[in-house]
């Protein structure tokens, strides 16, 4: 999946001549934590975050009520040359950038112009959507040998029960390097017949760990 498919294209921006007060007001009213700073042509100049605003205000400001610092312009506090992404970057690549650099958002730039923004929250929601967790479904976890054809054998059983697959995730078995764990979400509400057949075929169903006919 490309980042252009999930990025926010209606980006709220400010210009470098706006003040900290302007940024604080925008963040509060629109419930956001990151504001790109652009010039009159939409070229990205910098980025202001909620943390930048807090760091720019000394703690004494909270005590004496002095609000003069709020009139500082954004070009004095913004992050210049922020890390950026491109609309054709893959979602997993952007997620890795956010993780490695410990940042909460990534402005998306094409031909020098700001065209979108992506946040960690956006990526988390995308993951939830991809796994099908928001849809009526059943999740199964199956331990299989790490060999060619294992996934095909499992999905054949799903097909026998006319169960559509919403998502498949594969991760290592922490107890045995020769195995893999299949985390599969099915568009079906009663997985018991499928679990029973999987176990009859020798597959280790870890979840749901329910009694089946083959164990009775």
Taking only the tens place, the pLDDT of each residue in 43-77 is 999 999 999 998 887 654 445 555 677 889 999 99
Within the chain, all domains assigned CATH 3.30.70.260 are found at: 135-207
**Class of residue 115 by CB neighbours under 10 A (exposed 0-12, middle 13-18, buried 19+):** middle
pLDDT of residue 213: 53
Selected from 2.40.50.500, 3.10.580.10, 1.10.260.40, 3.40.10.10, the CATH number assigned to the domain covering 3-127 reads 3.10.580.10
pLDDT of residue 60: 47
State the average pLDDT over residues 133-156: 95
Cβ atoms 120, 4 nearer than 8 A: no
Q: Indicate the average pLDDT of the chain.
A: 91
Q: Which of 62-76, 123-137, 178-192 has the lowest mean pLDDT?
A: 62-76
Q: How many CA atoms lie within 13 A of 98 on its CB side?
A: 20
**The pLDDT of residue 207 is above 80:** yes
Within the chain, all domains assigned CATH 3.10.580.10 are found at: 3-127
pLDDT of residue 215: 47
pLDDT of residue 71: 87
Cβ atoms 140, 187 nearer than 8 A: no
Report d(CA 90, CA 3) in Å as an integer: 6
Q: Which of 37-41, 125-129, 158-162, 210-214 has the lowest mean pLDDT?
A: 210-214
Model confidence band, residue 164 (pLDDT cutoffs 50, 70, 90): very high
Report d(CA 162, CA 156) in Å as an integer: 10
Superfamily of domain 135-207: ACT domain (3.30.70.260)
- Tell whether omega for the bond before 167 is within 30 degrees of 0, i.e. cis: no
């Amino acid at each position: 999946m490309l980042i252009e498919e999930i990025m926010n294209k209606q980006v709220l921006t400010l210009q470098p001549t706006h003040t900290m007060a302007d940024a604080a007001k925008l963040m509060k009213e629109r419930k956001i934590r990151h504001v790109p700073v652009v010039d009159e042509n939409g070229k990205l100049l910098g980025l202001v975050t909620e943390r930048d605003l807090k760091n720019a205000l000394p703690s004494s400001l909270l005590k004496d009520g002095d609000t003069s610092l709020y009139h500082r312009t954004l070009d004095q506090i913004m992050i210049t040359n922020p890390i950026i992404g491109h609309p054709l970057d893959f979602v997993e690549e952007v997620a890795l950038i956010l993780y490695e650099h410990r940042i909460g958002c990534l402005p998306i730039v094409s031909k020098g112009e700001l065209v979108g923004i992506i946040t960690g929250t956006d990526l988390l929601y995308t993951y939830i959507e991809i796994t099908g967790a928001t849809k009526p479904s059943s999740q199964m976890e199956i331990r299989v040998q790490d060999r060619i054809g294992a996934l095909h054998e499992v999905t054949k059983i799903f097909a026998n029960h006319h169960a559509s697959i919403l998502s498949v995730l594969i991760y290592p078995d922490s107890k045995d390097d020769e195995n893999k764990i299949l985390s599969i979400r099915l568009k079906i509400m009663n997985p018991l017949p499928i679990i029973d057949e999987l176990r009859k075929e020798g597959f280790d169903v870890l979840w749901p760990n329910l009694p089946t006919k083959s164990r009775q």
